[in-house]
Structure 1
Amino acid sequence: MKLKLVSILLAFCTTAGSMTMPAFAERTQAAQIESESNMTAQENGSVKEQEWEGYTYKELTDNTLEITGYKGTDTALTIPDKIEDKPVTGIGRGAFAGLEKVESITIPEGITNIGSSAFQRCGSLKNIVIPEGVTVIDEYIFAYSAKLESVTLPESVTTIKEGAFGECRSLKSIAIPKNVDSIPDYAFTYCESLAQVRFPEGLTYIGENAFSGCKSLQNVEFPNSLKDIDYFAFQNCTTLSNVTFPENLENIGRDAFLGCESLQNVEFHEGLIRIGEGAFRSCSKLESLTLPLSLTEIWKGAFTDCNSLKTVNYAGSKTDRSNMRIVGEGNAPLLQSKITYGSTGKSEDFAPKKGSQLKDNGVTYQVKTDVSELAFVKTIDKASKIKISDSVKIDGICYTVASITKNAFLNNKNITKVTIHRDVKSIGKSAFKGCSKLKKIVIQSHILESVGTNAFKGIHSSAVIKVPDLNLNDYKKIMKNKGQGSKVKIVAL
């Protein structure tokens, strides 16, 4: 039976959102195009479909049969275990997909293989039991079956594939069989009624978007075997309030818990190495955080908009924390919290406050209003060529160098060239005033917003200021009448 699932899917995508097709829908569409192509090839090949009491089937090379579709009108189906004394062992790819009126399907013992998208978009199907002997829950097998409330998986299952239960919006609970060691991408994405998941000991990996949008999921207890939670895995699980993280967990991926706005306390155990970019972004009720000594990296924006975060408990000492790599950008709530060190019990500010001065390699910086940013204040370096870095690591925190303060290089007679890196947004008043030997200024930043009065007054009369080509016209306006002589050129890099 040739399926017309692509057109069904495209119709769905048009009504769901005309501007951009969701990533999950794109993946499902690609799978269905492949499915239809394969079925057409089969129809044109030597193996022909036959029909029996509304079911279409084909004979396999081992003399067993595979159900390929259903043309009847019944709403309660019992798949035959035999047809003309030949055993039925498989359900083909997309076999029952799009049968919106079918309410129940009974699968007999003896079925060992069920193809991808086999029950996709069975819009009235509520319950199904997969028989013992099936080892693979194939990709998109139940995707978009909106009324499916329960699925019983046998212990024989060892593999669940991508998108298997994606957008089964009525699915309430699932028990993952004991031999499954990974949950793939989009496996349960937007299962909005999913309130209970039982993970087996032995599970090591949870994939991208595996449980994203599961807004009824309130409690999650991971097995001790889990090591890696990938990108967006629990994104927008808005009622998730309690998560038990295991001792062997090593990595929290990018945006893994983005938008989990009910999460209040997070406790990690020894073994965790990395918290990825945006991992807990917009967890607006997150109040406390417990970090292990094993943690070495906190990436950009891991705690963006976690504005309730007040307390961090850290297993190590202040020296241990200084050996970490914490990207400051987007992590102001973390940097503004209080940290308690487990080694001493002492509590203090996690990071220096606004206005504090920090020193690194002879350069003095000042903490800005956004405490993840620094202003370049001055340097004791007598070199002729100076580079103003885009970031600097001080006591384990990677700050963004976002500005050059007024008078930063005032009357510096040594400097001949300065390179200003990509994150600088402002150059202060008289920053390079009186730098009479300064002949070359290289600005790599695309986000320069302002240049202060007399910033370039007194630089070499034939100096050249090089700026990004895309910003040339805007930067000429910004730098107009900043004290430089008429022969100073502003050109593209």
Structure 2
Amino acid sequence: MIRCLIATIFLLVSVINSYSYTRSDFAVSVCGTDAADSVAVVPAGVTAIPDFAFADNANIRNVILPEGLETIGEYAFLGCTSLESLTLPSSLKTIGEGAFRECTALESLTIPSGVTVVPRYLCAWSTSLESVSLPDNLKDIASHAFAYCASLQRIEIPSGVKHIGSNVFSECHSLEEIELPTSIEELESYAFSGCRSLRKAVLPANDKLLGEYLFTGCQALQEIICQSRKPAPFDCGTPFFDPSESALYTSCRLIVPASSRHLYRCSPVWSLFL
């Protein structure tokens, strides 16, 4: 009986120690945030915000985060439709998938230098987002990170980024120009699909594989610059545009190194421009 009692106590202690906050009790018990509050203050000493911590809170307009915070969990601020302002501390190292998804009032975001990966769906459907500052040591921008950010006008991709996922900037209707650094080793499919204001695109100056239908739906595209001396292959041989958009190969100008024009003229997909 005593052994059973000790085992039961041990089990209860283990459950308490492994307990993780849910959305409501983290906001209330740790931050003292009521559902009607417009400002949320994460207290000093907190190093991690759990998944879904403030999700679907439509009243929060500002979040104050402490220095020392290292992790923001998945979908932590999902659907915080009134969130206008927050400053990510320099101590931050990891941001979870969809952390600011559907934050439709958020206008700008600066990601600190400790973050090396922008996760999937980070700001997807954050329709008021106009500007994003990415850190110099960033390596990866995962799929759909900024998809459907209709107000995003410009973004600079740091020179160390190696991977850009699929649909990263899909339906960013205000994006007019994009320049991709040579460091990119993988540019996945549909990365800029539906960017209807995109006028100019500079592709990586290397011959790494390019994804499918990168610019489908980019009806305003006037110029694609590719500085690689060797034409890059395309995933599954799929072209830049949807077959119904073949006229874009005439209206959009392809600029390549003069010494490599003959190679592009003989290469699949690239030859459609020339």
Deviation at 1:213, TM superposition (A): 0.1
Deviation at 1:293, TM superposition (A): 1.9
Q: Do residues 297 (structure 1) and 233 (structure 2) align? A: yes
Q: Quick check: 1:104–1:128 contact (8 Å CA) kept in 2?
A: yes
Cross-structure match for 1:141 = 76
Cross-structure match for 1:312 = 254
The TM-score with structure 2 as length reference comes to 0.83
Amino acid at match of 2:240: A
Deviation at 1:318, TM superposition (A): 3.8
Amino acid at match of 2:253: T
Amino acid at match of 2:188: G
Q: Do residues 321 (structure 1) and 257 (structure 2) align? A: no
Cross-structure match for 1:51 = none
Q: Do residues 154 (structure 1) and 89 (structure 2) align? A: yes
Q: Which has the higher contact order (CA 8 A, sep 6+)?
A: 2
Once residues 155 and 112 of structure 1 are traced to their aligned partners in structure 2, the CA distance between those partners, rounded to angstroms, is 12
Once residues 211 and 67 of structure 1 are traced to their aligned partners in structure 2, the CA distance between those partners, rounded to angstroms, is 26
Once residues 146 and 306 of structure 1 are traced to their aligned partners in structure 2, the CA distance between those partners, rounded to angstroms, is 39
Deviation at 1:319, TM superposition (A): 4.3
Deviation at 1:198, TM superposition (A): 0.3
Structure 1 SS opposite 2:264: helix
Structure 1 SS opposite 2:155: strand
Amino acid at match of 2:260: S
Farther-moved stretch of structure 1 (220-229 vs 239-248) = 239-248
Q: Quick check: 2:163–2:187 contact (8 Å CA) kept in 1?
A: yes
Q: Quick check: 1:210–1:233 contact (8 Å CA) kept in 2?
A: yes
Deviation at 1:60, TM superposition (A): 4.2
Cross-structure match for 2:12 = 46
Task: Find the partner of 2:160 among 210, 225, 232.
Answer: 225
Cross-structure match for 1:471 = none
Deviation per CA, 1:438-479, whole angstroms, max 9, x where unpaired?
xxxxxxxxxxxxxxxxxxxxxxxxxxxxxxxxxxxxxxxxxx
Task: Find the partner of 2:44 among 98, 109, 120.
Answer: 109
Identify if the C-alpha distance between structure 1 residues 71 and 319 changes in structure 2 by more than 3 Å, giving closer, same or farther: closer
Deviation per CA, 1:388-414, whole angstroms, max 9, x where unpaired?
xxxxxxxxxxxxxxxxxxxxxxxxxxx
Task: Find the partner of 1:131 among 58, 66, 76.
Answer: 66
Deviation per CA, 1:217-261, whole angstroms, max 9, x where unpaired?
011111101121111110000110022322312322110100001
Deviation at 1:150, TM superposition (A): 1.5
Q: Do residues 174 (structure 1) and 109 (structure 2) align? A: yes
Give the greater-gyration-radius structure (CA): 1
Count of paired positions: 255
Structure 1 SS opposite 2:144: coil
Identify if the C-alpha distance between structure 1 residues 67 and 131 changes in structure 2 by more than 3 Å, giving closer, same or farther: farther
Gaps of 5+ in 2: 1-10
Identify if the C-alpha distance between structure 1 residues 125 and 68 changes in structure 2 by more than 3 Å, giving closer, same or farther: closer
In terms of fraction of residues, the more helix-rich structure is: 2
In terms of fraction of residues, the more strand-rich structure is: 1
Q: RMSD over aligned Cα, in angstroms? A: 2.9
Amino acid at match of 2:233: E
Deviation at 1:321, TM superposition (A): 2.6
Deviation per CA, 1:334-366, whole angstroms, max 9, x where unpaired?
6553xxxxxxxxxxxx1xxxxxxxxxxxxxxxx
Task: Find the partner of 1:191 among 121, 126, 131.
Answer: 126
Matches within 5 A, 1:327-338: 328=269, 335-337=271-273
Identify if the C-alpha distance between structure 1 residues 117 and 262 changes in structure 2 by more than 3 Å, giving closer, same or farther: same
Structure 1 SS opposite 2:224: strand
Cross-structure match for 1:202 = 137
Deviation at 1:276, TM superposition (A): 0.7
Identify if the C-alpha distance between structure 1 residues 187 and 220 changes in structure 2 by more than 3 Å, giving closer, same or farther: same
Task: Find the partner of 1:119 among 31, 37, 54.
Answer: 54
Task: Find the partner of 2:209 among 274, 279, 282.
Answer: 274
Task: Find the partner of 1:216 among 115, 135, 151.
Answer: 151
